[in-house]
Homo-oligomer: A and B are copies of this chain.
Amino acid sequence: MSTTIPSDPKKLIEKMRAGDPASLARLISRIEYRNHETKVLVELLYPYTGNAQIWGITGPPGAGKSTAVDCMITHLRAQNKKVAVVAVDPSSPFSGGAILGDRIRMQQHTSDHSVFIRSLGTRGRHGGLSHSTKEVVLALDAAKFDVILVETAGVGQTELDILKLAQTVIVVLVPESGDSIQVMKAGLMEIADVFAVNKSDRPEADKLVRELTQMVGLNPHDEHSWMIPVCKTEAVRDVGMIELIENVQKHQDYLSKSGKRDEKTKTFLKEEMIDILTEELKNSIQFLFTTDGGKAILDQLVNKEIAPYEAAKILSGNR
């Protein structure tokens, strides 16, 4: 294989699909630019997608998500699976260096070409973080990764929205993150497919496991429902991680057999369509304000001669 990286999108994708890590890295950088080319890349990648398993991992800061991911990579590699990690850092301007520090731990895998790790930490522009993540996942899927792990600290709505692209969501909790009532109130029952109670050597761990298990049982269910398993893990000592992965695998099998995988894909694609169309319309709305008519309405609004929804209605008519 030649060592040059093709600039033509089709050739770049071809080389990426043949397993060239440099082409994959370049493609992802080009996706992150978010310019007129993004569309072209999405259209070219899309036919090659739909084969990867996408696992989401979330939990409070300090729950040990990165350590768990690190450990999962090792086990998945032992199964000879190609693994990619997309780590989405919360877009806080105040976040310290701890998150980046975690990433460095994963470096042990960097010499392995069947492992790809990318951190998306920059704040969103032109559609933002959540959009780039989706497209990076498309690229990794097309690049024939078997498992794509999307890791995000569950801080902020944008970060949680990202989890919608995962087929299986693992919620990592620690005894300190509170009791099951908080979990319920936080709506985590709705997003979790598998619970991991990490740092399970701590005294309160068994209590949390018990509570979560009870809570899962209280959920309305029949013989066709997925019962969210509650796994005890100690990622740092590689305890319970194989069982966790087995449970994720069971959930993936459940999705395929029940037809829920297709349902999930459909819902996700529908939302994706709504996002694309909204984004395009937003651009055309922004253009309105460069016209004399748009400027005049804005002036009227500033002077309180009209009210916001009335102004919107007039602008709508001008489109």
Within 8 A of B (CB), among A75-110: 90-94, 96
Given A157-B158, A282-B278, A46–B302 Cβ distance below 8 Å? no
- Residue from B46, B128, B160 within 8 A of A157 (CB atoms): B128
- Provide the A25-66 mask, 1 if CB < 8 A to any CB of B, else 0: 000000000000001001100110110000000011100000
With a cutoff of 8 Å between Cβ atoms, the chain B residues found around residue A61 in the complex are 94
With a cutoff of 8 Å between Cβ atoms, the chain B residues found around residue A59 in the complex are 94
Q: Are B91 and A157 in contact (CB under 8 A)?
A: yes
Within 8 A of B (CB), among A243-279: 262, 265-266, 269-270, 272-274, 276-278
Q: Are A269 and B309 in contact (CB under 8 A)?
A: no
A274 to chain B, nearest CB (A): 5
Q: Are B155 and A92 in contact (CB under 8 A)?
A: yes
Is A310 at the interface (CB under 8 A from chain B)?
Answer: yes
Binds B, one of A199-207, A214-222, A225-233, A311-319: A311-319
Q: Are B160 and A93 in contact (CB under 8 A)?
A: yes
Given A282-B278, A316-B280, A94–B155 Cβ distance below 8 Å? yes
With a cutoff of 8 Å between Cβ atoms, the chain B residues found around residue A124 in the complex are 157
A281 to chain B, nearest CB (A): 5
A99 to B189, CA, bound (A): 22
A289 to B281, CA, bound (A): 17
Q: Are A278 and B269 in contact (CB under 8 A)?
A: no
- Residue from B90, B182, B273, B282 within 8 A of A315 (CB atoms): B273
Is A236 at the interface (CB under 8 A from chain B)?
Answer: no
A278 to B155, CA, bound (A): 25
In which size bucket is the chain A interface?
A: 35 or more
Is A177 at the interface (CB under 8 A from chain B)?
Answer: yes
With a cutoff of 8 Å between Cβ atoms, the chain B residues found around residue A182 in the complex are 96
A304 to B129, CA, bound (A): 25
Given A43-B309, A157-B158, A298–B266 Cβ distance below 8 Å? yes
A233 to chain B, nearest CB (A): 17
Q: Which residue of B lies closest to A61 (CB)?
A: B94
Given A123-B187, A187-B93, A43–B307 Cβ distance below 8 Å? yes
Given A186-B94, A266-B298, A42–B309 Cβ distance below 8 Å? yes
Q: Which residue of B lies closest to A262 (CB)?
A: B302
With a cutoff of 8 Å between Cβ atoms, the chain B residues found around residue A123 in the complex are 157, 187
Q: Which residue of B lies closest to A177 (CB)?
A: B94
Given A94-B60, A94-B177, A308–B157 Cβ distance below 8 Å? no
With a cutoff of 8 Å between Cβ atoms, the chain B residues found around residue A42 in the complex are 307-309
Q: Which residue of B lies closest to A311 (CB)?
A: B273
Specify which of A91, A94, A187, A278 lies most central, judged by the most chain B CB atoms within 10 Å of its CB: A94
Which 8 A/B pairs are nearest by Cβ-Cβ distance? A156-B156, A93-B186, A60-B94, A43-B307, A46-B307, A276-B312, A92-B155, A39-B309
6 contacts between A and B (CB under 8 A): A43-B308, A46-B308, A47-B307, A93-B186, A157-B158, A262-B302
